Amino acid sequence: VGVEGLPKSKPSVFSYDGSLAIHAGERSGRGIVTDAITTPVVNTSAYFFDNTAQLIDFKEKRRASFEYGRYGNPTTVVAEEKISALEGAESTLIMASGMCASTVLLLALVPAGGHLVTTTDCYRKTRIFIETILPRMGIKATVIDPADVGALESALNENNVSLFFTESPTNPFLRCVDIKHVSELCHQKGALVCIDGTFATPLNQKALALGADLVLHSATKYLGGHNDVLAGCISGSMKLVSEVRNLHHILGGALNPNAAYLIIRGMKTLHLRVQQQNSTALGMAEILEAHPKVKRVYYPGLQSHPEYDLAKRQMTGFGGVVSFEVDGDLQTTIKFVDSLRIPYIAPSFGGCESIVDQPAIMSYWYSLKFCFILFPRFTVFVILIAMVLLCALVNIYLCNLTNSTTKGKSKGVSCNIRSPDNS
């Protein structure tokens, strides 16, 4: 709408996506008649039919309706419609958690005795599922570096690969995968591509538009955005999402309508939160990289990041997560974490609160204790290097930063410092 006297300006991606996040699904996606502006929470486990003829019409797909809570709910449908609109997807399936979405997708799309490719840097629980559960069904996995396209080509040529499953950016080093290129390679060999875009959000990265077949999110994080709900979702073509949906209806893991409402509410401010998180995270990453007590910083928006040019091409923002290594041993890092005044020591990210976690403690404590028992003479740092070269790592997640925990250049910036359950 033009207004006389005001200059014309092109809407940003965020303003357009912000409108989608607010309005998508609200008027026509509920499946119920209501004049409420806010989507109602429909708390029911089952739905009735007026007569048998209606039931038969429903079974024959001549009538749109709901049947049982595990198969769908008017409130969850609105959340799904919003996510589909943001991702440019034909269909979205929302579930009880991000891990529920990951595991059901893998079980649905990789057949028994099949083969998948994944990356070295990924969420720890996903890796555990791939390494310990899928082999029970004869499913094998090739693990490659996120940037090693040659290794992906070899895996595709040497195996009958059903799926390439990866994060971008990855957890916890925030590596970026060339989604367009890997999608082209996989499709040439008949393999599907699923991108876990949790760290990117649908605002910073459009994985489906880049060629991926499916995109997955832990909606617990940015989509919910308030650290008060667990949810996960997958988006893609109607055909592929329906395959996953059919298995999901059997396994369960349905999202309850109250949780769906929290996702809907959270998404209405998603564009505002993500813009702020992008801006503050980049500023904090630059401050940390210049700090003499910081050994290394991992953030796609820094020129020092190995996939910086790629990230600039396929992302519109780099997210609210910054990972960095303190220049010191485990005890030095603990001292740093414990000296922070605002961040909570906790898992997760993407909410309004600042969070910090140290993966050596949060994710690998029992492995660490085992090393102490076996090798009491080893220094903490040597033990950690021998384990996985990751335990001196601290991930910083920067969310809705309004308070200051730093001095000088960082004044006015509070930080969300955290490492995921994987490092």
Single-letter amino acid, residue 281: A
Single-letter amino acid, residue 32: I
| Two tokens, residue 174 | 């925030």
Taking the model in full, what pTM does it have?
Answer: 0.83
Residues of the chain with CATH 3.40.640.10: 13-267
Q: Is the pLDDT of residue 216 over 70?
A: yes
Cα(307)–Cα(149) distance, rounded to whole angstroms? 13
Q: What was the pLDDT predicted at 368?
A: 59
Q: Is the pLDDT of residue 258 over 60?
A: yes
Q: Is the pLDDT of residue 404 over 70?
A: no
Which one of the listed residues 47, 57, 70, 189 is annotated catalytic? 70
Cα(215)–Cα(89) distance, rounded to whole angstroms? 9
Which one of the listed residues 127, 175, 206, 221 is annotated catalytic? 221
CB atoms within 10 A of CB 287: 18
Pick the CATH number of 270-410 from 3.40.190.10, 3.90.1150.10, 3.30.1490.390, 3.40.50.1370: 3.90.1150.10
Single-letter amino acid, residue 101: A
Q: What was the pLDDT predicted at 412?
A: 29
- Find the largest Cα–Cα distance for the chain: 77
pLDDT by residue (tens digit) across 159-174? 999 999 999 999 999 9
Indicate the Cα dihedral angle 405, 406, 411, 414, nearest 10°: -40
Which one of the listed residues 17, 178, 196, 213 is annotated catalytic? 196
Residues of the chain with CATH 3.90.1150.10: 270-410
- 212 or 389, which is more confident: 212
Q: Which residues contact 189 (CB under 8 A, 6 or more apart)?
A: 156, 157, 161
pLDDT-derived band at 330, boundaries 50, 70, 90: confident
Instruction: Identify whether 70 is a catalytic site residue.
Output: yes
What spatial distance separates the first Cα and last Cα of the chain, rounded to whole Å? Answer: 49
3-class DSSP state for residue 327?
A: coil
For 153-180, b where at least 16 C-beta lie within 10 A, e where not — what string?
bebbeebebbbbbbbbbbbbbbbbbbbe
Q: What was the pLDDT predicted at 386?
A: 27
pLDDT by residue (tens digit) across 36-85? 888 999 999 999 999 999 999 999 999 989 999 999 999 999 999 999 99
What one-character DSSP code corresponds to residue 417? B
3-class DSSP state for residue 342?
A: coil
- Comparing CA positions, the residue from 247, 225, 170, 165 lying closest to residue 416 is 225
Q: Is the pLDDT of residue 20 over 90?
A: no
| Two tokens, residue 311 | 């990230």
Cα(391)–Cα(423) distance, rounded to whole angstroms? 7
Q: Which residues contact 141 (CB under 8 A, 6 or more apart)?
A: 115, 116, 117, 118, 130, 131, 134
What one-character DSSP code corresponds to residue 339? H
* % the chain with pLDDT above 70: 81
8 Å CB contact between 106 and 134: yes
The gap from C-alpha 314 to its chain's centroid, in whole angstroms, comes to 16
* % the chain with pLDDT above 90: 72
Cα(49)–Cα(66) distance, rounded to whole angstroms? 9
Q: In what order do the strands lie in the sheet with 232-236?
A: 91-95, 232-236, 214-217, 192-196, 161-167, 115-119, 140-144
pLDDT-derived band at 361, boundaries 50, 70, 90: confident
What one-character DSSP code corresponds to residue 68? B
- Comparing CA positions, the residue from 318, 300, 295 lying closest to residue 389 is 295
| Two tokens, residue 362 | 């949060």
- Ramachandran sector of residue 37 (left: φ over 0; alpha: ψ -120 to 50; beta: rest): alpha
Q: Is the pLDDT of residue 423 over 50?
A: no
Q: What was the pLDDT predicted at 4?
A: 46
Instruction: Identify whether 123 is a catalytic site residue.
Output: yes
Q: What was the pLDDT predicted at 26?
A: 80
Q: What was the pLDDT predicted at 128?
A: 93
Single-letter amino acid, residue 376: P
CATH class of 13-267: alpha beta
Cα(375)–Cα(168) distance, rounded to whole angstroms? 36
Provide, for the chain, the percentages of residues in helix, strand and coil under a 3-state DSSP scheme, each rounded to the nearest 5: 40, 15, 45
Q: Is the pLDDT of residue 13 over 60?
A: no
Which one of the listed residues 123, 222, 261, 397 is annotated catalytic? 123
| Two tokens, residue 44 | 């029911």
In DSSP notation, 224-238 reads T-SS----EEEEE-H
